[in-house]
Structure 1
Amino acid sequence: MDEPREELRDETVARVAAIDIAKNSGVVCLRLPNEAREGARTQKVWTVAATTNAILGLGDHLVCQGVELVVMEATGVFWQPFYYLLESRGLRCWLVNARQVKNVPGRPKTDKLDAIWLAKLTERGMVRPSFVPSQPVRHLRDFTRTRTVFVRERSRHKLRADKVLQDAQIKLSSVATDPFGLSGRAMMEALIAGERNPRTLANLAQGRLTAKHDALVEALTGQFDDHHARLLRLLLTTVDHLTAQITALDQDIAATLAALPDPRSDAPDHSPSPAAASFGDDLLARLDEIPGVGPTSARVILAEIGPDMSVFPTPAHLASWAKLSPRTIQSGTKSTTGPAGKGNPWLKGALGEAASAAARTDTFLGARYRRLVKRRGHAKALVAVARSILVIVWHLIDDPHAHYQELGPDWHQRHLNPRRKTRDLVRQLEHLGHQVTLAPSTDTA
């Protein structure tokens, strides 16, 4: 029998409360020790309105009852008022994954039974809390997620504008790399203003696009009319409005990052970073050193995982929480791996973009992608690079004095095991039907 990796602890909780949350109310189950009979439990279930005063009243009642832990399911955004208000009353609150606390299949399902089941799991120590960041990080997360949504909306409206041009037989996107660049916008504004001469429109090209004058004349010859002009004007106005909102969000994100507190500032052995910039700006600059990670991706990553790595004891914990580690499936003598899982879509999106960018670089991460893609495929190679980036991020955040050090694209070649490589090559030749005889080389050059 394998020895346990850590000493088992008694995780039972004597005084617990569980809340099954809906949009307008929450069903509370309170379980306490029975004062009359030793070993017995008393249980009380009631419904609380999801209003501020009702939740604060619930918090005062739970404090009076000496509740040690309040547990609730992650139900959309409806859990947030309960969590934040009860936490403000000094209660220890846990948010748990609804998939991990499902009732036994086949049994009746009601809000009351779900609250009772969650309370029983909690008092026996059978639930794990989800990661809920501090308030400054939550504010930063709100800004970065809203910015991501606005960028996606802007891209959708740009595609709609291109469809309007395609409907009018204007093939601008087939010639211009960015039809919404300086030249493309000038041509679209001229079309809206009533200009229909393709040569006049092509003369608005600037920069490298001027070399494609003849192709532009052909692409701008179409059937653009007033109907298309009205649609295009509406879409371009929306794109400009979203661009202005994104710019304003960038300023809010920068201000929030500059005011981000250092979670280690209260530690007795804390030594502040020697950088003149604020804690958040210094951390962002160090994350920006990673190949493939730009300022935007760094902001999203920092907003999703926070600046306090004490929540994730090791890089493996962080990779597992982000669902970047394959799931182990073992039964008897058979051991396989399953899909990693969905994880945090905002974090995985930023890491996926960073991994795609890093895969095209002549760096260690780029070489790692090229080694893996040959035998594991594009998707799995990108996930592996994303996991490597997340591990690097953990170390940079955990150590305020650490900086990214590039190992070089030839790192794997420099650390190659000659015997293992020779064995693999011999096996490949034998598999092709060759008989291999090895002799030591006499060339000492």
Structure 2
Amino acid sequence: MRCMGLTKDDRTLRKTSPAPRPPHDAVRGAGSGQRRAWLVLALILAALNLRPAISSLGPVLAEVRADLGMNGTVAGLLTSLPALCFGLFGFAAPRLARRFGPAAVVIAGLVALTVGLALRSLMPTTVPFLLTTTVALAGIAVGNVLMPVLVKRWFPDRIGTMTGVYAGVAALGAAVSAAMTVPLTGALGDSWRLGIGVWAVVTALALLPWLAARPSFRRAELRKGGAGGGEGEGEGRGAGGTGSAAAPPVPSLARSRTAWALAVFFGLQATAAYITLGWASQIFRDAGVGAGTAGLLLALVMGLGGPLGFVVPRVAARMRHQGPLVAVLGACGLVGYAGLWLAPASGAWVWAVFLGVANCAFPVALTMIGLRARSATGVARLSAFAQSVGYLICIPGPLVIGSLYEATGGWDVPLAVMAGLMAVQIAVGVVAGRDRRVEDGD
């Protein structure tokens, strides 16, 4: 018998079946807000620890070289090691994320970072020091690649804002470690080993909330339905997403002009950044600036990325073409290099400001990674491609600069090379900033 178009079985099923749950975006209340707060906190803590392993070394590089017996070429290799590790280990991040989930891989990366930082401070010779540094950098590599993916999945409507948050915090971490390593070394008995080893404690503390928040990460990942979930972007004209869950397949990135332009731009801005991280303190010290002041100058260079890192990605996300912004940042880098050549000591603080502004090419590159693909899957593949290829491109940079410095006995030739690379960075960044998507086959 039917009643109002329903059979008896239909009415029974309606009574016994649970009502469908509303989508997460429709859920309101303390639980939802608490999970979102955990996700934001997790990104901040991870970002805070993405740079101290590198930036803490520059201010005491002279002491490390003397103690371990490094020549200029090996020191150049040490400053190139981050790029090498980021390029090699970054390729593995998307595959690991598909198997274990991106949050679990980031947690494993933080563990590797903690262990590597702790062990390298104990190493008595160069080779073990390089090996344990590699372990730490491998942990950073997977975080570098997966942070844009987590932003795309957890905050698809806030790509520019959240990219700015973690890029700014990463810059803050670099600045604090650069500024504090020399004072910590002095306070800990003039031991550079303790001065750089203390950052392992900071990473270990940052790891604890990640472990505590794993259930929130699992719910967020299940809610997004895998690597392709959360495709909608809503922040600014450059955000090109449509909000549809059905995204076009991602073609081979090796055939994409947009992907290659972004990879080369990423590589050149990374070259400039790691040359600055590895050698800026030495440039200032060679000009007669004291070690402590040189560390503060490097901290200023890296620290400007903090406040600017919160703003620049939001500006970039609202631009249809990020080329003009890339050009402005590159011009600041050229001014900084010219100042280091003409008056490195008397204008040191001014040149540090210009170099700090130029370093904001990094959050712009991260923002463009999020904008040049339509889906989280596309962002994951583009992030791995652009960062891995880019870091491989930048490997020779710090090594070449170190070799030129030792061969010429000064900074004139290295600075000229750095300026030439910055000019190329501007040109290729304009191409990478075009309003294109890798799924469109361009």
TM-score category of the 2 structures, normalised to the smaller one: under 0.3
Larger strand proportion of the pair: 1
**What's the TM-score once normalised by structure 2's chain length?**
0.27
Q: Which has the higher contact order (CA 8 A, sep 6+)?
A: 2
Larger radius of gyration: 1
**What's the TM-score once normalised by structure 1's chain length?**
0.27
